[in-house]
DNA sequence: TAGTGGTCTAGACCACGCC
DNA sequence: GCGTGGTCTAGACCACTAT
């Protein structure tokens, strides 16, 4: 399926060339003028295309020199990152899910801030265990805002892809996210559900997701069994999304 | 100091307005036409400015609707992320460093791949303990490529900012980076240097840094004491730098 | 339907690198 | 010095949101 936006078509073509090995790491890309001529587009459109690859960390750019290939590893769409099931499928693995607990209660101060609701507002708390090829790898403690809670409650307990179902049922789209990553020792509940010893290292990701207009949907404390998952970021002086903060 | 590039000046002005609270979370920004008029710039220049804020995750954008403020938290420069000392200083804390071991040896297969040198090529291995206000928080196992090794060896053992010294001494600039984040249990050496029990959770960041033209400088295995540091990423469907991979 | 952001063009000048 | 990417302009048309 050909991409209708010309800058996306050019970006796709360059990505394919990089992933196929036609431009290995260290190789230089054609100049903007050459790309514009070969695609019958203006220089502005070509620049829009290469700036996408720049943001993905695939290429580096310096004034005066041709662009250089830095990496040949594809990056993921936001949806693949957001959805456990879609991420698992893209890796050829089977994702499972099971709701262990689900209940309405009052938002704590920190949750109220993250979800932009008033302190004590009703929120839906869900404890969910996620499996990969039958093995438990992730324990999710998710807090949903009041307006989306009923749709979440209507889902089956063993729903494989919550993201997918919520999109199909309500048209909801997850657009923005913020992730905070650190390490914690497994508590009693973590150890029991993930089948490891108390005190074992866990990778913790606290995340908050919002709609296109910035309305918060959910905030979650996700704990991964060590060895099952790695988070990666590519960055540079020009585009730096990763931040290190004091705990 | 006024910014000479007009798009950066406009971006700075908008950032200041957001950090100062003139545009709180959820507020809408002026339209492109309004910003162009008020800054005496063309629409293209304004778009370049707001796209920077978009990449930083500060604002969200949808066709047809005005841009919305998503976050009022500043993001860091790549240098602040890269340099432990500069990061510590920006948080008002005192950074210390101490070289525990330093030796040349042959590159392993994985290191050779990351540093783009041949298997068995000479590399400089450095074990460094980093402290924050005197407390040990980070153990770095860094492998330097042969061409930069001598400059690293010339540094004093208690060098506070390696990044700063290498830049001043050799003109070296760290431009690109790749970070892989997961959790591991502390080994014997980790436990001894970071003063915690064997098996305690540690946040591990494996990173590789390169110059502007993509030449790898160093690759490192950094282990942080839990509770001392958190890594954060903001992302969206349009800009997604964070990737989750199978271990 | 009016306003907004997304896409695209065709040109210009400048700063920087490489040879 | 020449080629390259970085900046900027002024205009056009389209897709989408809001009212």
Instruction: Write the pLDDT tens digit of every residue in B93-112.
Output: 999 999 999 999 999 999 99
Residue B92 main-chain phi, psi, to 5 deg: 75, 25
Query: What are the tens digits of pLDDT across the range B139-161?
Result: 999 999 999 999 999 999 999 89
> Cβ contacts (< 8 Å) between A243 and chain B: which residues?
75-76, 81, 231-233
Q: Which of B80, B175, B230 sits opposite A182 (nearest CB)?
A: B230
Residues A167 and A49 in one domain: no
Annotate A96-131 with b (16+ C-beta within 10 A) or e (fewer): bbebeebeeeebeeebbebbebeeeeebbbbbbbbb
Q: Which of A91, A199, A240 sits opposite B75 (nearest CB)?
A: A240
- Give the CATH number, domain containing residue A167: 3.40.1410.10
Residues B91 and B208 in one domain: yes
Q: Which of residues 45-84 of A touch strand C (CB under 7 A)?
A: 45, 48, 62-65
Cβ contacts of residue B42 below 8 Å, gap of 6+? B36
Query: Are residues B235 and A176, on separate chains, in Cβ contact within 8 Å?
Result: yes
Predicted pLDDT at A234: 93
Residue of A80 and B206 predicted with greater confidence:
B206
Report chain C positions within 7 A of protein CB atoms.
Answer: 3-12, 15-18
Cβ contacts of residue B84 below 8 Å, gap of 6+? B95, B97, B130, B138, B161
Closest CA to A194 of A184, A207, A206: A184
Domain range spanning residue A166? 78-224
* Whether B144 contacts chain A with CB within 8 A: no
CB pairs under 8 A between A and B: 256
> Cβ contacts (< 8 Å) between B80 and chain A: which residues?
244
Query: Are residues B181 and A231, on separate chains, in Cβ contact within 8 Å?
Result: yes
Closest CA to A68 of A76, A57, A77: A57
Query: Are residues A183 and B201, on separate chains, in Cβ contact within 8 Å?
Result: yes
DSSP assignment of A63-126 equals TTEEEEE---PPPPPHHHHH-HHHHHHHTT--EEEEEEEEEEEEPPHHHHHHHT--TT-EEEEE
What tokens appear for B101 in the block? 């071991």
Residues A90 and A121 in one domain: yes
Cβ contacts of residue B40 below 8 Å, gap of 6+? none
Residue A244 lies in a domain: no
Residue A240 lies in a domain: no
**Which nucleotide is nearest to A48 if distance is taken from CA to C1'?**
C7
Cβ contacts of residue B15 below 8 Å, gap of 6+? B53, B58, B74
Residue B231 lies in a domain: no
Residues B203 and B106 in one domain: yes
Average pLDDT in the B124-149 region? 96
Residues A129 and A183 in one domain: yes
What tokens appear for B79 in the block? 């240098």
Kindly report the nearest CA distance between residue A70 and chain B, in angstroms. 6
Q: Are B98 and B156 in contact (CB under 8 A)?
A: no
- Give the CATH number, domain containing residue B32: 1.10.10.10
* Whether A135 contacts chain B with CB within 8 A: no
Domain boundary among B69, B88, B111: B69
**pLDDT interval class at B2 (50, 70, 90):** low
Q: Are A229 and B244 in contact (CB under 8 A)?
A: yes
Residues B200 and B98 in one domain: yes
Residues A63 and A89 in one domain: no
Residues B112 and B14 in one domain: no
Residue A246 lies in a domain: no
Per-residue pLDDT of chain A (247 residues), as tens digits, is: 567 899 999 999 999 999 999 999 999 999 999 999 999 999 999 999 999 999 999 999 999 999 999 999 999 989 889 999 999 998 899 999 999 999 999 999 999 999 999 999 999 999 999 999 999 999 999 999 999 999 999 999 999 899 999 998 888 999 999 999 999 999 999 999 999 999 999 999 999 999 999 999 999 999 999 998 999 999 999 888 888 887 7
With vertex at residue B168, the alpha carbon angle to CA B7 and CA B161, rounded to the nearest 5 degrees, is 95
Residue A242 lies in a domain: no
Closest CA to A59 of A103, A89, A92, A17: A17
Given a cut of 80, whether residue B1 has pLDDT beyond it is no
* Whether B105 contacts chain A with CB within 8 A: no
Running DSSP on this structure, what letter comes out for residue B28? B
> Cβ contacts (< 8 Å) between B200 and chain A: which residues?
185, 199, 201
Instruction: Give the C-alpha separation, B47 to B133, whole Å.
Output: 43
Residues A61 and A155 in one domain: no
Predicted pLDDT at A2: 60
Q: How many domains does chain B have?
A: 2
Q: How far apart are the first and last CA of chain A?
A: 46
Cβ count within 10 A of residue B188: 8
Kindly report the nearest CA distance between residue A106 and chain B, in angstroms. 23
Residues B103 and B215 in one domain: yes
What tokens appear for B239 in the block? 């800009």
Report chain D positions within 7 A of protein CB atoms.
Answer: 3-12, 15-18
Average pLDDT in the B121-128 region? 97
Kindly report the nearest CA distance between residue B96 and chain A, in angstroms. 16
Query: Are residues A231 and B244, on separate chains, in Cβ contact within 8 Å?
Result: yes
Residue B139 lies in a domain: yes
Residue A64 lies in a domain: yes
* Whether B188 contacts chain A with CB within 8 A: no
**Which nucleotide is nearest to A49 if distance is taken from CA to C1'?**
C7
For the CA atoms of chain B, what is the radius of gyration?
21
Residue B18 main-chain phi, psi, to 5 deg: -70, -45
Kindly report the nearest CA distance between residue B166 and chain A, in angstroms. 17
Predicted pLDDT at A1: 57
Given a cut of 90, whether residue B247 has pLDDT beyond it is no
Domain boundary among B44, B69, B94: B69
Residue A208 lies in a domain: yes
Domain boundary among A18, A43, A69: A69
Residues A32 and A126 in one domain: no
Q: Are A86 and A166 in contact (CB under 8 A)?
A: no
Residues A96 and A217 in one domain: yes
- Which residue on chain A is closest to B182 by alpha carbon? A230
Question: Which positions 29-58 of B are in contact with A (Cβ < 8 Å)?
Answer: 55-57
């Amino acid at each position: 399926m050909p991409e209708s936006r010309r800058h996306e078509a050019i970006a796709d073509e360059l990505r394919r060339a990089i992933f196929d090995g036609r431009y290995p790491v260290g190789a230089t890309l054609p100049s903007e003028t050459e790309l514009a001529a070969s695609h019958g587009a203006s220089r502005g459109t070509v620049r829009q295309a290469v700036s996408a690859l720049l943001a993905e960390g695939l290429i580096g750019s310096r004034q005066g020199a041709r662009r250089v290939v830095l990496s040949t590893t594809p990056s993921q769409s936001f949806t693949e990152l957001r959805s456990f099931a879609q991420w698992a499928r893209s890796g050829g693995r089977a994702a499972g899910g099971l709701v262990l607990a689900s209940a309405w209660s009052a938002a704590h101060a920190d949750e109220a801030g993250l979800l932009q609701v008033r302190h004590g507002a009703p929120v839906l708390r869900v404890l969910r265990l996620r499996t990969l090829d039958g093995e438990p790898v992730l324990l999710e403690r998710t807090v949903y805002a009041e307006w989306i809670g009923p749709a979440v409650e209507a889902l089956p307990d063993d729903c494989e892809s919550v993201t997918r179902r919520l999109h199909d049922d309500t048209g909801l789209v997850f657009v923005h996210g913020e992730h905070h990553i650190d390490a914690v020792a497994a508590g009693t509940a973590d150890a029991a559900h993930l089948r490891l010893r108390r005190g074992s290292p866990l990778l913790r990701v606290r995340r908050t997701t919002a709609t296109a207009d910035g309305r918060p949907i959910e905030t979650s404390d996700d704990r991964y069994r060590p060895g099952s998952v790695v988070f990666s970021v590519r960055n540079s002086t020009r585009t730096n999304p990763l931040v290190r903060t004091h705990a």
